[in-house]
A and B are shown apart, each in its own frame.
Chain A
């Protein structure tokens, strides 16, 4: 006889199934996620409209043409991505190494802290003196500057993982590298990503310093506006740099959202 109090398993209540079809599962992206891009688009649009219609000084008109601004913005993005890529390539492996080889921690953190404590313009000057001017020396200098947040966050992100989880993974037969790549790093993604986004924003905002050694980017327009006391140009360039930082940070957030494993999203 079937006991009426026992309900047979159905699609939605079978044990072991995650909430893949549960209606309460949050969507990956909501409308709130698009506020930042919209605000940025509005700000850029307003500034472009202003530059096209307002009574500009001839110098500003000649310097803030669409071509020049686009070239500078592209250079700026290239610099920012190069710095971020280099920072991630250095800081994440280093962070992992530090959690394995504990005595590395004070050494690594000392270097990273110094990199951020030394004034960025001094870093750029030192690297330019010892090496060369141009794109890559500025990238290296700014990498030294931005390594700290990512390194710190990698260490913290990996350290705060419950030891029981790692134990369980080993117990399931995973190799140490398996534990690292399939358990530890995915769990640490939110913290690491937060550090990476900080580094990216720092990089974008500090790139204008590289102007002095010919790095390019929107720093050219910004510094020129400052030197020539042309406020319209100064403001426009600064606004574009800020918008660029916001957009890249937003993209970082999107990437973070996509990389975070479903279980902890």
Chain B
């Protein structure tokens, strides 16, 4: 290449490089300014002048809870920053621990087994809550707030057709079916459930089942729902009891008639320092937590998963209904 050509080529490459870098920023939208709310029953001065960063995990229920939190705290006068939709439980917890977020909601069961590293579950809701609250405060300086009475625990589910055809509505029915039709007792699980002591192994023991490994397919959480719906690979699938896709896909969660699965309550969590400086954060969220029972949470989840509404709108409507905001 002649020198002139080389200069031209370099300049061209530089321009293209800069343009590409500049254009790369074009895809990112500004986060919606939906947290301008007027307080209803929430005290509008409780958190005046305080900046609170709210995190959440990445699935529907958590996104809705995240928005509820943002709007409640905003109504209480806080300047809120939306850092919801963090990928994964570990990352969400780490965000709180490192101070990237000030508050996020987690489940007592997850706290006990995943974060605090215990292997044996505690079956009683209140006992579990207190054990987690105490230990996380002592060991890690994290404060668990008031829990919501909703129960988002595991359940095995089948499609409506399968349930009608084989008259299966409880997990004991499932055990009977599996004993009578071992080839058709195919199950889709995701790996966390398959590994936890309060999961698959314990469940089989409690109901006297022993389904061979060959009948089990391990997939990602969301894929369980779609595979169950398709009905080819598995007739039974592990689901979360408040998940909106249960309603959307017309699935039937089997009743846990032997009460094996513990009740996992969800609570807002902050660090000790945050709680000492601004105890109002947990105080403002407590009345919200108290209203979230299983039915309510499932209904809100269904609005997102089944009807496709945005979580900001779902949150706003709900809070207005409850009188927390105008």
Contact = CB atoms under 8 A, between A and B. Distances in A.
Q: Do A and B bind each other?
A: yes
Contact of A133 (B88, B90, B114, B219): B219
B217 A62 contact: no
A229 B94 CA distance: 12
B192 A211 contact: no
Contacts of A127: none
Contacts of B113: 228
A63 interface: yes
Nearest to B115: A229
Contacts of A128: 223
Interface of A: 57-59, 62-63, 128, 133-134, 211-214, 216, 220, 223-224, 226-229
A226 B195 CA distance: 11
A180 to B, nearest CB: 35
5 contacts: A62-B197, A213-B223, A214-B233, A224-B192, A228-B192
A212 B224 CA distance: 10
Nearest to B114: A229
Q: Chain B CB within 10 Å — which of A59, A134, A220 has the most?
A: A59
Contact of B90 (A57, A58, A220, A226): A226
A263 to B, nearest CB: 38
B220 A57 contact: no
A224 B191 contact: yes
Contacts of B217: 133-134, 214
A121 B300 CA distance: 30
A134 B233 CA distance: 10
A228 B117 CA distance: 9
Contact of A59 (B119, B223, B233): B119
Contacts of B82: none
Interface string B38-67: 000000000000000000000000000000
A223 B191 contact: yes
Contacts of A224: 191-192, 194-195
B192 A212 contact: no
Q: Chain B CB within 10 Å — which of A57, A133, A216 has the most?
A: A133
Interface of B: 88-90, 113-115, 117, 119-120, 188, 191-192, 194-197, 201, 217-220, 223, 227, 233
Contact of A58 (B191, B197, B218, B227): B197
A62 B200 CA distance: 12
A63 B195 contact: yes
Which A-B residue pairs are the 10 nearest by beta carbons?
A: A212-B220, A58-B119, A224-B191, A214-B219, A227-B192, A224-B195, A214-B217, A229-B114, A223-B191, A59-B195
A59 B193 CA distance: 11
Contacts of A57: 117, 119
Given A62-B195, A62-B197, A226-B90, 11 more contacts: A133-B217, A213-B223, A214-B223, A220-B191, A223-B191, A226-B88, A227-B88, A227-B192, A228-B196, A229-B89, A229-B114
Contact of B191 (A62, A133, A227, A229): A227
B195 A212 contact: no
A228 B194 contact: no
A59 B218 CA distance: 17
B195 A214 contact: no
Given A59-B197, A228-B113, A228-B196, A213 B220 contact: yes
Contacts of A211: 191, 218-220
A211 B217 CA distance: 10
B288 to A, nearest CB: 28
